[in-house]
Structure 1
């Protein structure tokens, strides 16, 4: 009886143990299934959120792409068009389907007119940089379907979509802007020439004054030649000395005429020129007037410093500043009339300083002297000279400024220094 009771107790404990263990196992499986279900739901929500975000992003891109007033085109990494919005087709003069699969060089002239190099080589160089994540902004000439040239301002950069490299291109038509720029430059060139012609009478007076001395010298040498002949002193040596003296005077007159001709000859294209040599030629032209007004010009600097631009136009800048100084001296009673001109190199630039001791510019107009129709000469001036000087200097990528010193005015012109 006692043994049966013990056996029953052990059996009961085993049953309870197995029941509890089975219940725990069942509960664990239920908990695991719940947790997995919860994780799956969260993952699905994240996937749906990411899909929604990407879809919204694509919708925004698509809206911007289609509705932009700028031309937007997508190119593959081989440089061929994949996508083109409506504005892009209108600007380039093609239908959408006609552009897809074509390369930039195929809708461009063989030579880029503003670069003077092959379109194929130029655009390949751009693509190489863009594919290395370098953004490019540049001007480009394209040909429409009817072979009309269109000038574009283009921005290109690398875009990665779906793991692939694509080139994003945005462009706008600047053909009319370029036409207006050329028209403006032509008008400026005409104004420069008209300003020179307006001074023609004065410059002829300068030439006439400068020629008086050599003509008088030649006349005197001729008389001496006749006198020496009559006195029997005319030998071979004397004749050679006379010829040398006459040729020297004639050379001076010829040089004066060459400077005069060069000054009035319009510059057709940009060239490199020595700043100090150009200034020297202008000072040479004005030498007669400067001596008459008892003005001493001291020119110093390095002849090897070269600038890029239109030398004839730059002469007009120098002439305007020197003429202003002459006029300022005319209204002052300064005894020692000096103009110092210095040309030097400062940090890869040419710095030209023209300083006088004529009393300076009235403070009321000092900061507006480069504006049109503002004159340092009052009613006697047109107010065009210094405005024109500023335009010419800026066209050479330079800067011009003016300030007053203790006893006069100082003009400073800074130009890019080009390689010798």
Structure 2
């Protein structure tokens, strides 16, 4: 046992029970190299013998100070003689008669003191039941209790060591700042994984902050210095391996705890270098999926442009033909020429705007900002509806009662693409239905409303094409899963889900409703927090 040895509650109770079974005053204490004695246990006979109350047995009481002074001299004599037991008379201010004390060392720094008056035998005495007791049996019982305590402690220590060194996280025990200006961050203990992470064999005298690059050290130091009980510390930082001098990314979780009246910090450090590499690879896969979705949508959009250009091209042809006829007839005056030219420019501007819309649609938004979901929805419908009506006899109905001026935060062009995918998906389902039933009238119902106490906007897109097979519903957002056979690419819906959840921090659900497939989008009106806003950028 060391000087800070603390008995378990069970062992403390066992010690007291053994002491109480003997009808003589007994006092048990532990010591340290500087004779800093601590009370361990005593029996009721001890209190009665010295006319004491339990509340008076504390480290600063005059009685204990006097008692411990005498014990210090006895302990020194014991060490000089090389004995584990010594007997000596003593005088105490609480007793008028002579007192004899027998001091015995029963384990390492654990001592027991037996008190007698001159009329009592030292080694043999009668208990309350007139039974003869040998003091050696007392020592044997106390030693048995201590041996059991040691076994329990060794088992506990072994389990602690197994848990401390097992697993994949590096564990550091650091000093925490206290009122005595104790240096914060000194490494008290580290497991095997922690030593591998930092590239050290010995952590003696090493401060954890020395392992952090200088540019990050101030932020980590600030958090370690101000950690409080019940705080959960999370830090993403870089640690430099002291052997290879290679920096790598780590995730640090920490908590403050108190042991032996000292504030310490528990840190779990996980190497996330491989995870970051995998995340970069996944990000590339997401970008590829997004690009594939754009390419798949581009074919549809080219058809939209072709349809929107057909009418202005016809108008341009008629205007130019009329202009030519007037010129040939010699009846083309300045006013007529200006009128025709203005009409031609109007059609050219319309066609140019169509190209701009198409270009903007597929250009990624550079930064998140507030925009109107109603206007975005209307712009997508305006591009698609004429083609739907002409080629597929599909009508789009928008029900909007509460979102005239509502704004949401995110990327408008990406949001357009998600809506385009969902509306095109509804159109494809209706077209497949029309092939089976030529007289079928397809309809797409779109609702937009504020929900969650006006803190979010919900957009619902419902078709009347019969819905999705229930067995396919759990998989429709999986990459490259398609219910359209060879006609589908399986990239549209996964891309829509990625945009809604990652770029817009919203949610998307799909289920069957009213004989059709219903896609429900919910997006917040405000950015979740500053960190999310930075992540979006």
TM-score (norm 2): 0.60
* Structure 1 residue 64: Cα displacement: 3.2
Preserved CA contact (<8 Å) 2:421 2:493: yes
Q: Given that residues 73 and 169 in structure 1 are in contact (C-alpha distance below 8 angstroms), is that contact kept between their aligned partners in structure 2?
A: yes
Q: Over the residues paired in the alignment, what is the CA RMSD in angstroms?
A: 4.0
Q: Which has the higher helix share?
A: 1
Long gaps (5+) in structure 1? 1-24, 112-118
> Taking structure 1 as reference, are residues 69 and 406 closer, same or farther at Cα in structure 2, changes over 3 Å only?
closer
Corresponding position of 2:514 = 406
Q: For the Cα contact (< 8 Å) 1:81–1:102, is it kept in 2? A: yes
2:419 match? 318
Partner of 2:164: 65
Aligned equivalent of 1:295: 394
Corresponding residue SS for 2:472: helix
Structure 2 contact 457–522 (Cα < 8 Å) conserved = yes
Matching residue of 1:9: none
Q: Give the deviation of 1:360 after TM superposition.
A: 2.4
Q: Does 1:107 align with 2:209?
A: no
Matches within 5 A, 1:59-138: 59-77=158-176, 78-92=184-198, 94-97=199-202, 100-104=205-209, 106-108=211-213, 110-111=215-216, 120-121=218-219, 124-125=222-223, 128=226, 130-138=227-235
Query: TM-score scaled to structure 1, two decimals?
Result: 0.74
SS in 2 for 1:125: helix
The one of 263, 269, 280 equivalent to 1:171 is: 269
Does residue 1:345 correspond to 2:446, yes or no?
no
Selected match of 1:305 from 398, 404, 407: 407
CA contact (8 A) 1:372 1:383 kept: yes
Matched, 1:360 2:467: yes
Higher relative contact order (CA 8 A, sep 6+): 1
Report the number of matched residues.
383
Could you tell me which residue of structure 1 aligns to residue 312 of structure 2? 214
Partners of 2:463 and 2:523 lie apart in 1 by 21
| Native 8 Å contact 2:475 2:481 kept in 1 | yes
The offset of 1:291, in angstroms, is: 3.5
**Residue in 2 that maps onto 1:3:** none
SS at match of 1:110: helix
Deviation at 1:177, TM superposition (A): 1.5
| Cα shift readout 1:61-115 (whole Å, capped 9, x = no counterpart) | 33433454421111110233332222112223x314468432437513625xxxx
**d(CA) in 2 for partners of 1:188 and 1:201?**
21
Q: In the TM superposition, what is the alpha-carbon distance from 1:234 to its structure 2 partner?
A: 2.7
- Equivalent-residue separation in structure 2 for 1:27 and 1:82 (angstroms): 51
2:110: which partner in 1? Answer: none
Cα distance 1:207–1:109, how it changes in 2: closer, same or farther (>3 A)? farther
The answer as to 2:477 corresponding to 1:370 is yes
Checking the alignment, whether the CA contact within 8 Å between 1:141 and 1:151 is kept in structure 2 is yes
Are the aligned partners of 2:312 and 2:347 in contact in 1 as well (CA < 8 Å)? yes
Cα distance in 2 between the residues matched to 1:303 and 1:39: 87
Question: How many angstroms does 1:306 deviate by?
Answer: 1.8
